[in-house]
Structure 1
Amino acid sequence: MLVSGLIQLVAIAALLFVPAGSFHYWQAWVLLAVFAVSVWLPSVFIQLTKPDALQRRMRGGPTAEGRPVQKIVMAGLYLSLAAICVVGGLDHRFGWSTVPSTISVAGAVLFGLGLIVVVAVVVQNSYASTTVQVETGQQVVSTGLYGLVRHPMYTGNVLMLVGLPLAVGSYWALLFVVPGVLVLASRIHDEEKMLSAELDGYAEYTQRVRSRLVPYMW
């Protein structure tokens, strides 16, 4: 768990500092600190209380997906996140846009909030996974965050996508939020087809909770 978190942190740092061409990039340092605190501390708690849930979270990425469409979707999401970091670093180097410090801090807070929402989903739903699948014994969770939207983990992902460009101090990086949200919407569409067909009670759940991603909107 700790090694995986360290690898993620180093990868994000490389995507930011290499394009920036400098370590004098306070927005990047703040983002890395927020990532470390928001991921590592809750992960330790989950490892101690729900190790199976954490293991499901660690099996992620395009290669871990069993459905071909989800491999494409996850590749698109990872590329969007990487592009935001790279463009943010380039923006810092060449000064393409000027983001006020307060906006960058707010973006970092929004990014951290998105990570916390994802962790909260894992705590609430032990079957929450980074891959689209239905496991033996899995049941529909309809309370807590799942009472607001059907895919609260992806809601957390959207908060991260929106907060990340602002956190790294780049308005230009906001352009990559759109494809990121679109691939998440595609993932939800495919996932719901599978859940309705394979998970008992899910079709009835969709009738009770109408919003997929954003309450009262979609």
Structure 2
Amino acid sequence: MVDLETRSDSLEPVSPALVGLAVVGTTVFFAILLFVPAGRLDWILGWIYVGLFIINMIINWVCLQLWNPELIAARMRFSKGTKTWDKVWAALFAPLIIAIYIVAGLEFRDGASRLTEMAWPFGLVLFVLGSALLMWSMVVNPFFEKTVRIQTDRGHRVIDSGPYAYLRHPGYVGFMAWVLSTPLLLASAWALIPALLSVIGIAIRTALEDRTLRAELPGYTDYTKRVRFRLIPGIW
């Protein structure tokens, strides 16, 4: 759990209605990315994926509401100070994520080179584990904003509890697992290509963020001596 006494200055809470609107909007967006390229609505795996997506967002919101409600407000706003390189990265990364869904939809329409549906259980395991690790990282880290910046306005400090006691960027590990699970859950072989490119992009962002934190966040360099690995224990 988060130590409430060391939390940064609180932000204005977000209304449940606004959160609900964000959930609905995000779900509709990803459903469009899937079903418009598919050209049909009788895609069972597509609907199951949408259902998993909704359940995950609801669970994520409930956990944050219970243990780190400030982060909901922080992630729903655009704050000043985002690094220029991160804006460039986001502009290049977004098309890769979008391509995963479009390619999967097109592959379903054409029926070519689809993965066997036996890959689905492996995708579900990746999805659940990745989502759980990402959620755990967000629950313990009040500074888990959408963009990379030094949050001096929020008392930015090093977080070394929870999964951060083992990896410096556990949230990215969870996100990578979630990304890789998508082609498996949608039984799309071709979608693995943008998914793997997305994972490479996340790894690049991790390195750039780590360099920024070393240079600008007090105490982070000492933290890297205690927790040596960014993403993979014993390797990197």
Q: When the two structures are superposed, what TM-score results if normalisation uses the length of structure 1?
A: 0.91
Match of 1:103 in 2: 119
Does the 8 Å CA contact 2:68/2:140 hold for their aligned counterparts? no
Cα offset, 1:169, TM superposition: 1.2
Change (3 A) 1:26 1:65: farther
For structure 1, list consecutive stretches of 5 or more residues without a partner in the other structure: none
In structure 1, distance between residues paired with 2:81 and 2:47:
32
In structure 2, distance between residues paired with 1:184 and 1:172:
19
Q: Residue 94 of structure 1: which of 106, 110, 134 is its match?
A: 110
Render the CA deviation track for 1:134-168: whole Å, top value 9, x for unaligned: 22322211222112211111111100111111111
Partner of 1:120, secondary structure, is helix
What is the alpha-carbon root mean square deviation over aligned residues? 1.9
In structure 2, distance between residues paired with 1:71 and 1:104:
34
Does the 8 Å CA contact 1:125/1:141 hold for their aligned counterparts? yes
Q: Residue 131 of structure 2: which of 82, 91, 115 is its match?
A: 115
Cα offset, 1:187, TM superposition: 1.3
Match of 2:15 in 1: none
Cα offset, 1:49, TM superposition: 4.0
Q: Residue 52 of structure 1: which of 70, 78, 83 is its match?
A: 70
In structure 1, distance between residues paired with 2:233 and 2:112:
34
Partner of 2:26, secondary structure, is helix
Q: Residue 140 of structure 2: which of 117, 120, 124 is its match?
A: 124
Instruction: Report which stretch shifted further, 11-20 or 72-81.
Output: 72-81
In structure 1, distance between residues paired with 2:66 and 2:164:
24
Does 2:214 match 1:196?
Answer: yes
In structure 1, distance between residues paired with 2:140 and 2:108:
38
Task: Give the alignment of 1:20-169 within 5 angstroms.
Answer: 20-59=38-77, 66-136=82-152, 137-169=155-187
Render the CA deviation track for 1:11-40: whole Å, top value 9, x for unaligned: 110010001111111111111111111111
Q: When the two structures are superposed, what TM-score results if normalisation uses the length of structure 2?
A: 0.84
Cα offset, 1:214, TM superposition: 1.9
Does the 8 Å CA contact 1:118/1:157 hold for their aligned counterparts? yes
Cα offset, 1:178, TM superposition: 2.7
Cα offset, 1:4, TM superposition: 0.8
Misfit runs of 4+, over 3 Å: none
Q: State the AA in 1 paired with 2:109.
A: R
For structure 2, list consecutive stretches of 5 or more residues without a partner in the other structure: 1-18
Q: State the AA in 2 paired with 1:45.
A: C
Change (3 A) 1:34 1:74: same
Q: State the AA in 1 paired with 2:32.
A: A
In structure 1, distance between residues paired with 2:23 and 2:103:
23
Q: State the AA in 2 paired with 1:106.
A: F
Partner of 1:217, secondary structure, is coil
Q: Residue 2 of structure 1: which of 3, 13, 20 is its match?
A: 20
Instruction: Report which stretch shifted further, 133-142 or 90-99.
Output: 133-142
Instruction: Report which stretch shifted further, 28-37 or 75-84.
Output: 75-84
Q: Residue 184 of structure 1: which of 182, 202, 216 is its match?
A: 202
The share of aligned pairs that are identical, in percent, is 34
